Structure 1
């Protein structure tokens, strides 16, 4: 008996900055104007995607004591954008990345419950954490968490949010022809929570939303992150995209679910990926090479290497070899916020030199090699076949896809790759449910009550 075809789940990510988008292309639009968000979300909905995914940026990066100008595009408030998109879309899920370190459960639970109501059950929260004191300077309590404590706070945060979402019974709001709309007596529980991170007593102001609980996404690949996802999340946004690495990650996370009383289908694994299409394989490869050269500019490549070396390397040729001097190891703060490297700079430099020497790469070519997200490259039929192979081969349950242009980068994928997936019977031709949980094949969120 043949194995049933698994359905591919797809999310559309709004393109970021730096080496993730070609902001210099004349076709590139604004990353803050609402029309850009609307275009991408409506294009993804036209393609029957599960969700639209919006990242979060809480502080502009600084490099060598100045705002890093290649990173300045603006990042409006996530929830404001998603609430606006709820009014101009009908089906697609609306997922927002919001930090659990710098927010409070009552406020965030209320905001996501509101989005779920306004969208008719399409809200998702990508739970992220931070131990970054630089970003924390924007907030009253600052970057007060040790790196190891991030998930401790996040787990308690989610626990409190769920209690708040469960404080209203499903039929708490009653419509009465004579008296109007009122709340049934005893249908709202008081939420009392005392823990290491939060101590609150509350009567939430928003009724239980269409999904009950907002869909929870977790972005993290560490062992702690995987365990947090297995215990808490409905989906994981991950960077594992190579087939073998994806299969290993998939098996590891899915195997953790049983101890929390969860089934394997209760958690979807969605790696990030991009794509480059062409009429032929050769054309797609050449187009991919050209795009990467646009994404990683000469000055961007030098700045990337400076993050590890901790030195001013502006005198070096980006098309030349890596510096022959060693990185500084103490008292270095050349890049603030979103620096990519937290490990021993000498070890990182040694590994980079090995890669550069083995592949005969210049500084810029090396940075292109190191910073590229996984890209499906080829004809539409080839890309659809490759995506389907990952899902059927248990390397993931689908992908969070982004293009290289804002906001039209997804158009070509929707017009050419999605029909190929539909022909294979691996992707929906119409939405069959109304909520994001329906799209992802997740069970309705149970009402757990509010016991401490």
Structure 2
């Protein structure tokens, strides 16, 4: 990349790379789409992210394959590797890139997970991160001894105690390398003993939290270092950003202690028209006629295979508490969501497939490299985000064009680093080191 001198700016943009999961984000029909489980795919995307000086590389988690109408969901047939294992391998072939694993607090235990994350932090020289997710689903729980015991209302309560307990374990070694016994007595965990690893290079791995609900926002404000979210327009982004940042003070935290990074897609073209055409084609590939019907069935809760994807939405109301899709459902009231989609369909004259495309697309930056760089910069400089987690539609080469064509323009604007200046993920993100609590 050719890099021009930077100008001084108020805020620096944070960027991360999301390895596409087993869902309709990935365009499987594209001949450039490769394996979801071969190490070479993870390595390629991680190398691209590090070449682009990204903060971290982000992996999702799937503890059980989805089922739809009693069959394994087609898009899960590729398999779902365990993320920390993959990241330990990537630690050996990268030097500065942060390595973020999504790990569930419902179906793991603090001692075991704290040990695995501390190991990754040691092996990587201080680049580990943990994306904290919660679950209350009995369907996923069937893979575990506890089953689905956890009430939905308790998932964040257990999650918060889980993170607290993990941090107590990491703090059970002093900064100068002395091990001390630990003991935690709480509602969900009652453990005592000695932790097996000294304090890792970051003290604590970086904690990421995903979720836009009110309880998710509060959890992030109290606990997380990074918030992975989604919001659409510049205005809604600013409102979300302001709401979450204002909550930090109640926990004795400063606004810069939490980075807000929405997940986004980027589609580039040599002209604006070309970029829009490419984006429309990608959306048509992501939302096939079959996927459109499947998505509708997740909301309506009934078999809609007799409906024409190019025809109108069903007039029937959704079935509450349907089990037609197991493990992945759309949040919120299905009747209200169906009404919202019907209104959208009527307003714009959209078919089922067109409605799903319109309603399901994640936030995207679409345009020439110059226009995309300017828009990303505007979001960050006007406090709609601290940066973005890029979700490409191709595995593993979906970030190549962004790194080659957009990153140099962000650097020219003075809004993005031209080199890594630190060695740990905390240093990349500008986060304070955790205070040791002896």
Normalising by structure 1, what TM-score? 0.94
Q: How does 1:84-99 map to 2 (within 5 A)?
A: 84-99=89-104
Equivalent residue for 2:17?
A: 12
Give 1:336's aligned residue: 326
Deviation at 1:87, TM superposition (A): 0.3
C-alpha distance in 2, partners of 1:53/1:249? 22
For residue 38 of structure 1, report the CA deviation from its aligned partner: 0.3
The CA distance in 1 between the partners of 2:61 and 2:131, in whole Å, is 10
Distance 1:422 1:265 in 2: 21
In the alignment, structure 2 segments of 5+ residues that lack a partner are 1-6
The aligned counterpart of 1:209 is 200
8 Å CA contact retained: 1:127, 1:217:
yes
Alignment of 1:200-349 (within 5 A): 200-329=191-320, 332-343=322-333, 345-349=334-338
Give 2:374's aligned residue: 385
Other structure's SS at 2:235 match: helix
1:101-116 equivalence runs, <5 A: 101-116=106-121
Matches within 5 A, 1:388-399: 388-399=377-388
The Cα of 1:325 is off from its aligned counterpart by 2.8
Contact 2:36 2:78 in 1 (8 A): yes
Tell me if the contact between 2:241 and 2:385 (Cα under 8 Å) persists in the aligned partners.
yes
Question: Cα deviation per residue 1:150-185 (whole Å; 9 max; x = unaligned)?
Answer: 11111111111111001111222xxxxxxxxxxxxx
Matches within 5 A, 1:398-437: 398-437=387-426
User: SS at the partner of 1:408?
Assistant: coil
Give the structure 1 partner of residue 343 of structure 2: 354
Alignment check: 8 A CA contact 1:5 1:425 kept? no
Spell out, residue by residue over 1:51-85, the C-alpha distance to the aligned partner (whole angstroms, 9 max, x if none).
00001111111111111113322110010000000
Query: 1:63 and 2:63 equivalent?
Result: no
Contact 1:18 1:296 in 2 (8 A): no
Report the RMSD for the aligned CA atoms in angstroms.
1.3
Q: Is the 8 Å Cα contact of residues 307 and 341 (structure 1) preserved in structure 2? A: no
The secondary structure found in structure 1 opposite 2:106 is coil
Partner Cα distance (2:134, 2:435) in 1: 26
- Helix, strand or coil at the partner of 2:84: helix
- Preserved CA contact (<8 Å) 1:70 1:300: no
2:355 maps to 1:366: yes
Q: Quick one: which of 88, 92, 108 aligns to 1:83? A: 88
Report the Cα distance in structure 2 between the residues aligned to 1:426 and 1:122, rounded to whole angstroms: 23
Larger radius of gyration: 1
Question: What stretches of structure 1 move > 4 A for 4+ residues in a row?
Answer: none
Residue deviations 1:355-388, cap 9 Å, x none? 1000111000111111101110000010000000
1:165 aligns with 2:170: yes
Q: Distance in 2 between matches of 1:105 and 1:329?
A: 35
Secondary structure of the residue aligned to 1:19 is coil
SS in 1 for 2:129: strand
Quick one: distance in 2 between partners of 1:400 and 1:437?
16
Where do residues 119-158 of structure 1 align in structure 2 (5 Å cutoff)? 119-158=124-163
Q: Deviations over 1:29-63 (max 9, x none)?
A: 00000000000001000000000000111111111
- Give how far 1:442 is off: 0.7
- CA–CA distance in structure 2, aligned partners of residues 351 and 318 of structure 1: 18
Among 425, 428, 431, the residue aligned to 1:439: 428
Does the 8 A contact of 1:308 with 1:341 survive in 2?
Answer: no
The offset of 1:441, in angstroms, is: 0.4
Partner of 2:10, secondary structure, is: coil
Deviation at 1:445, TM superposition (A): 1.5
**d(CA) in 1 for partners of 2:137, 2:332:** 12
